[in-house]
């Protein structure tokens, strides 16, 4: 078991005396290990444990109580050491009322001091009332009750100190049995008392008139002397009070006084959220104040907020800008109650800027035409630059409008308020205006693209404004197919924004016209097959030239290049939907086959130098010509037989394969192409045979 701690011992107390409930500090040794260890504390026999605050093993703070003895010991009791001892004592000073000029060893509270020494307490008016003002005998018993008197004299009273005093009530109540002569004696006594009071006061004044004047002069002189003595002190006190009040106002309202400078600093740093929060706080506190100094400072705050409105509006109308910044600035302007409709101003400004950007793109290409990339057609560059600009900025304008209509532009949380509902109503009233602006943008886009890619499809009025690309040459078929893909991506991007379909009709029509134009140009280029007769005619072991095979490959390549163009995307119409387009494409395919047949005819019937037949024989390898006649040059008969055999192979195999390719790629009327090809083969065969027979007979 552990050894018990020594008993507590108090060796000092401060102060050593005091009135009850004086706060004292007790010092000593072994005064406990914690507040839980302290279980008892008495001062002069009064238990002070409830007010004790254990600080350490050598210090305790508490308040004394109303002790029984004037002086006594300080006893501390702990769990670990038991009851202790004290080497000092404390004296309790009992409360005694003393005069204000009487010395005291301790400070006395002013409210406990008798400021009217030697004077009686103020007497109440009832205590000054004489018990028998008439000085005659009063009835010992009441003859009439108070209730009866109240009925006899309604609203009156028998108390002569009351405003409703009734003399008759008083006489009936107190002198009901008195005779008339007795009452006359009482009236005489009452007159004497009144005159005695007046004479006493007047005689006092007459006898001490000089004393009164001397007292008045003494009081005036004392007042003048006091003013002279304390005037500077009082003046300094007033000045100090005014300074203290001013400092207190500055400290209490330092938020408002520092707000103009704080707003300037936060605007320079770009902390617009902080500025708006401070302004809302100041407006709620001082917006309706009538204090002139507050009105002056708040006016400075309003001036800075107006400057902030102009700054935010300038930033909002800057171009180009992101949708995030636009929404942020609009919300700022809405929070500070900016005049007008900043959101609509931003939408109008973005529309005007995007329109000028589209028109300026065309002008820049005309001015910098010599500096463009020569490997890419300038029309192609312009179309791609224009569509990229539209896809980069038009979606932001559309999303800004959607946020403007549904109110999310003004509230991040979507909470309903009168201001939000008002903004939504204003936005719905401007739907027709925005539709007109968006239609204008899409119309200009279509006209610019048509001017660069489909100038022949434009009206004479639009040609003067949007056409001017003639000096850059015509587009090739692969460039047109490339632009079909570019314009399609633009249409898909705009359709993905949920823009009304009727507003995209012009763009969809332009895509269809561009697809038809791509098919037309490609088929026109494919009809130029005479070059095949120069380089692609070589004979195989079966006595058939390689021209049909290369012609089939030529058609296959042409159809593959048009595969994406002909294939319909969602929402697109077929290129071959109209009968006029079907007939045009069929005629062009027939022209291709007829051109190839004409090429074979030229090879068979024009052996003169410089013609296709000359190329046919000149570029014939020696092993092929040797296989025909064993000479260095083929005879006309051999050439006719080779072409005739090639035509037969074309009619039996290659035309069927070409028709199948047309069917696979969804081209219209492939059977017509097959029939025309076979008819041309039959005619050419007859011509070749008629040419061969005379030659063989000779």
Residue 600: name the closest of 564, 558, 557, 641 by CA: 641
- Helices (H), ranges, 165-271: 167-174, 180-207, 209-252, 254-269
Confidence of residue 618 (pLDDT cuts 50, 70, 90): very low
Q: What is the DSSP letter of 652?
A: I
Q: Distances in Å between the alpha carbon of 153 and those of 141, 167, 173?
A: 20, 11, 12
Interstrand relation of 23-29 and 9-14 (parallel, antiparallel or unpaired):
antiparallel
* pLDDT value at 179 more than 60: yes
Q: What is the pTM of this model?
A: 0.59
Higher-confidence residue of 113 and 554: namely 554
Q: Where are the domains of the chain?
A: 9-92, 253-316, 326-513, 527-697
CA distance linking residue 330 with residue 326, whole number of Å: 6
The pLDDT mean for the chain works out to 79
The alpha carbon torsion through 347, 349, 355, 361 (nearest 10 deg) reads: -130
Residue 282: name the closest of 264, 267, 295 by CA: 295
Strand partners, 545: 539
The tokens for 172 are 């009936």
- Helices (H), ranges, 336-417: 342-367, 378-406
Which residues in 578-613 are b (16+ Cβ under 10 Å) and which e? eeebbebbbebbbbbbbbbbebbbbbbbebeeeebb
- pLDDT (0 to 100) of residue 100: 62
pLDDT in tens, 70-102: 788 999 999 999 999 999 999 988 766 666 666
* pLDDT value at 212 more than 80: no
Strand, coil or helix: 157: strand
The tokens for 536 are 């692609």
Query: 193 Cβ partners below 8 Å, 6+ apart?
Result: 133, 135
CA distance linking residue 373 with residue 523, whole number of Å: 28
**Mean pLDDT over residues 60-76, rounded?**
85
Q: How many CA atoms lie within 13 A of 591 on its CB side?
A: 14
- pLDDT (0 to 100) of residue 272: 92
Residue 38: name the closest of 4, 79, 6, 7 by CA: 79
Backbone torsions φ then ψ of 18, nearest 5 degrees = 170, 170
The tokens for 130 are 């004489």
The tokens for 561 are 């290049």
Confidence of residue 345 (pLDDT cuts 50, 70, 90): very high
pLDDT in tens, 191-211: 887 776 556 566 666 666 777
- Judge contact between 61 and 24, C-beta under 8 A: yes
**Mean pLDDT over residues 379-401, rounded?**
91
**Mean pLDDT over residues 636-664, rounded?**
73
* pLDDT value at 621 more than 50: no
- pLDDT (0 to 100) of residue 616: 33
Query: 269 Cβ partners below 8 Å, 6+ apart?
Result: none
The tokens for 574 are 């077929």
The alpha carbon torsion through 621, 623, 626, 632 (nearest 10 deg) reads: 40
Strand partners, 17: 91
CA 46, distance to chain mean position in Å, is 68
Q: What is the DSSP letter of 326?
A: H
**Mean pLDDT over residues 102-129, rounded?**
52
* pLDDT value at 540 more than 60: no
Residue 315: name the closest of 335, 337, 332 by CA: 332
* pLDDT value at 354 more than 90: yes
Confidence of residue 544 (pLDDT cuts 50, 70, 90): low
Q: Provide the residue count of the chain.
A: 698
Strand, coil or helix: 419: helix
Helix (H) or strand (E) holding 660: helix 655-664
Q: Tell whether the torsion through CA atoms of 344, 346, 352 and 355 is positive or negative.
A: negative
- How many C-beta atoms surround the C-beta of residue 222 within 10 A? 10
Strand partners, 275: none
CATH level 3 topology of 9-92: Immunoglobulin-like (2.60.40)
Q: Tell whether the torsion through CA atoms of 670, 672, 675 and 681 is positive or negative.
A: negative
Tracing tokens 């009273």 back to the chain, one arrives at: 157
* pLDDT value at 428 more than 50: yes
Query: What Rg, from alpha-carbon coordinates, does the chain have?
Result: 60
Tracing tokens 């407006």 back to the chain, one arrives at: 283
- pLDDT (0 to 100) of residue 674: 72
Q: Tell whether the torsion through CA atoms of 677, 679, 683 and 689 is positive or negative.
A: positive
- pLDDT (0 to 100) of residue 88: 94
**Mean pLDDT over residues 328-351, rounded?**
90
Query: 549 Cβ partners below 8 Å, 6+ apart?
Result: 654
Helix (H) or strand (E) holding 536: none
CA angle 264, 265, 271 (to 5 degrees): 100
CA distance linking residue 362 with residue 451, whole number of Å: 10
Residue 315: name the closest of 301, 330, 303, 305 by CA: 330
Confidence of residue 130 (pLDDT cuts 50, 70, 90): low
Confidence of residue 611 (pLDDT cuts 50, 70, 90): very low
- pLDDT (0 to 100) of residue 101: 61
């Amino acid at each position: 078991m552990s050894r018990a701690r020594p008993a507590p011992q108090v060796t000092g107390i401060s102060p050593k005396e005091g009135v009850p409930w004086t706060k004292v500090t007790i010092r000593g040794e072994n005064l406990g290990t914690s507040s839980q260890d302290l279980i008892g504390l008495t001062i002069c026999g009064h238990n002070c444990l409830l007010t004790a605050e254990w600080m350490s093993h050598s210090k305790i703070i508490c308040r004394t109580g109303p002790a029984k003895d004037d002086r006594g010991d300080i006893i501390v009791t702990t769990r670990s050491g038991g009851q202790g001892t004290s080497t000092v004592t404390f004296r309790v000073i009992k409360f005694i009322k003393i005069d204000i000029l009487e010395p005291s060893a301790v400070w006395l509270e002013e409210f406990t001091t008798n400021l009217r020494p030697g004077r009686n307490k103020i007497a109440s008016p009832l205590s000054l009332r004489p018990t028998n003002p008439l000085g005659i005998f009063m009835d010992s018993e009441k003859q009439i009750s108070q209730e009866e008197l109240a009925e006899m004299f309604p609203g009156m009273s028998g108390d002569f100190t009351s405003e409703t005093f009734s003399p008759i009530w008083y006489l009936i109540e107190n002198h009901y049995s008195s005779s008339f002569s007795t009452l006359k004696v009482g009236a005489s006594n009452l007159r004497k008392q009144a005159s005695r009071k007046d004479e006493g006061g007047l005689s006092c004044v007459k006898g001490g008139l000089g004393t009164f004047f001397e007292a008045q002069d003494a009081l005036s002189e004392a007042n003048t002397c006091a003013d002279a003595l304390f005037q500077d002190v009082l003046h300094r006190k007033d000045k100090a009070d005014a300074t203290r009040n001013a400092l207190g106002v500055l400290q209490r309202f330092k938020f408002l006084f520092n707000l103009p400078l704080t707003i300037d600093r936060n605007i320079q740093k770009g902390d617009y959220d902080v500025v708006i929060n401070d302004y809302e706080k100041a407006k709620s506190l001082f917006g309706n104040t009538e204090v002139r100094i507050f009105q002056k400072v708040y006016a400075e705050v309003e001036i800075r907020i107006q400057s902030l409105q102009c700054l935010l509006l300038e930033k909002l109308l800057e171009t180009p800008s992101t949708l995030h910044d636009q929404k942020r600035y609009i919300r700022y302007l809405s929070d500070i109650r900016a005049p007008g409709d900043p959101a609509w101003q931003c939408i109008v400004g973005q529309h005007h800027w995007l329109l000028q950007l589209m028109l300026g793109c065309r002008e820049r290409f005309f001015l910098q035409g010599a500096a463009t990339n020569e490997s890419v057609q300038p029309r192609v560059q312009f179309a791609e630059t224009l569509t990229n600009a539209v896809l980069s900025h038009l979606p932001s304008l559309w999303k800004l409008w959607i946020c403007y209509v549904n109110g999310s532009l003004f509230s991040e949380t979507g909470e309903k308020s009168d201001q939000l509902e008002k903004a939504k109503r204003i936005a719905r009233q401007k739907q027709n205006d925005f539709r007109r602006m968006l239609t204008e943008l899409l119309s200009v886009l279509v006209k610019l693209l048509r001017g660069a890619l489909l100038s022949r499809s434009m009206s004479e009025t639009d040609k003067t404004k949007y056409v001017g690309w003639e000096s850059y040459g015509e587009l090739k078929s692969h460039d047109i197919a490339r632009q079909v893909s570019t314009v399609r991506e633009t249409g898909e991007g705009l359709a993905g924004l949920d823009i009304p379909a009727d507003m995209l009709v012009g763009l969809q029509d332009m895509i269809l016209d561009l697809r038809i134009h791509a098919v037309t140009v490609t088929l026109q280029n494919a009809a130029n097959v005479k070059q095949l007769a120069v380089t692609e005619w070589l004979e195989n072991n079966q006595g058939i030239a390689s021209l049909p095979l290369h012609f089939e490959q030529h058609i296959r390549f042409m159809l593959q290049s048009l595969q994406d163009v002909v294939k319909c995307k969602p929402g697109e119409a077929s290129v071959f939907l109209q009968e006029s387009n079907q007939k045009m494409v069929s005629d062009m395919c027939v022209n291709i086959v007829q051109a190839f047949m004409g090429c074979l005819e030229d090879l068979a019937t024009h052996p003169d130098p410089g013609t296709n037949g000359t190329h046919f024989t000149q570029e014939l390898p020696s092993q092929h010509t040797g296989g025909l006649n064993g000479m260095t040059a083929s005879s006309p008969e051999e050439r006719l037989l080779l072409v005739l055999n090639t035509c037969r192979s074309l009619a039996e195999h290659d035309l069927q394969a070409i028709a199948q390719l047309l069917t696979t790629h969804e081209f219209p009327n492939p059977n017509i192409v097959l029939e025309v090809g076979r008819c041309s083969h039959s005619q050419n065969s007859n011509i070749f045979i008629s040419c061969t027979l005379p030659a063989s007979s000779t």
